[in-house]
Chain A
């Protein structure tokens, strides 16, 4: 029954191409997240370093 349900949903095992596209998407997401985090957290660390007595 479960199998027929998934067939009805036209579920297919993810192809290599699908996994690649999801992987590339995740990498883009990471880069988009990491750039601001590095600038902001790095900048705040730098404030402490530069203004340390």
Chain B
């Protein structure tokens, strides 16, 4: 199975547009320095950021706590609440529980060697002497630069895993569950997770001196993506009350909401709500608006998952193609069909 000509043309066009979007913060910074005449890069390279807003110094320790422990706490507390309220009903079988728990716990330990190797070995080797080289970038410039770099990169990583057939099976685990909730946030094949492009983009920009802005972006992004996966329909009041409609209109086009992201996890397109062939945005839904891959209905799908799910074993879902499923006809089995492009 391969991409159609139309898909290839659209992909090339969208990649070109993305290159321009990536360049926007750099162009804005150039205009800013041209206009103000400031040349902060002439100051000695330092890990200290002189222009940090005062509020940042106050919230920095809290942001660090949220990024390290807070997100785990949110996932666990909301997950328990969802389970207690019967969200998963009878769909959370022993096999699904195993997949969810392994995908949540194992990467905590397994990812460390990869990210540490990148941080302590690859970056100093590939970019010697450039640590904090861009620490002169103003905080808010760095904030928008990281927000665009991190999230647009993830959009592309995600979109390609849906649209390029040979990549789909690495992302399939995230869509296989017939329910939607906190458990989905970390349910991924490990090879998909370990090569998450935006992790390495952001780590490189942190090494180059954009750390404080990356911390703020990381926390905001984490909160938005977790809430988009959760079963708390915090966006519903915005659709219900007419006075809030203008806010909803902006909100659902800028960031991922539970409605738009749940639609991405739907198991069908036929109801006009589900859109597993789009709604790829993680923090920003804006990318789906720009590239016309998004559908906004303000409704939630009735069912989730994938139609050709075979309830594969946890080890196949977590580590395919290293471990393969024994289920006959499964995409994750040895010589399994490459359905792809979903």
Contacts and interface: CB of A to CB of B under 8 A. Distances in A.
Interface of A: 9-12, 14, 18, 21-22, 24-26, 28-30, 32-33, 35-37, 39-41, 43-44, 46-48, 50-51, 53
B23 A25 contact: no
A39 B134 CA distance: 14
A25 B29 contact: no
A49 to B, nearest CB: 10
Q: Is the interface of A mostly helix, strand, loop or mixed?
A: helix
Given A12-B334, A51-B39, A33 B201 contact: yes
Interface stretch (B160-168, B222-230, B278-286, B295-303): B160-168
Contacts of B201: 33, 36-37
A48 B29 CA distance: 11
Given A9-B323, A50-B30, A36 B191 contact: no
A39 B160 contact: no
B22 A35 contact: yes
Contacts of B102: none
Contacts of A50: 30
A22 B137 CA distance: 37
B157 interface: yes
Contacts of B323: 9-11
B153 to A, nearest CB: 5
B103 interface: no
B39 A44 contact: no
Interface residues of B, number: 47
B334 A37 contact: no
B149 A40 contact: yes
Q: Is the interface of B mostly helix, strand, loop or mixed?
A: helix
A46 B277 CA distance: 38
B152 interface: yes
Closest 8 CB pairs of A and B: A43-B26, A32-B197, A29-B195, A18-B321, A33-B197, A39-B22, A36-B149, A36-B22
Interface in B257-282: none
A44 B137 contact: yes
B33 interface: yes
Given A36-B153, A37-B204, A51-B39, A12 B324 contact: yes
Contacts of B15: 35
Contacts of A40: 22, 25-26, 145, 149, 205
B243 interface: no
B140 interface: no
Interface in B187-219: 191, 195-198, 200-201, 204-205, 208
B41 interface: yes
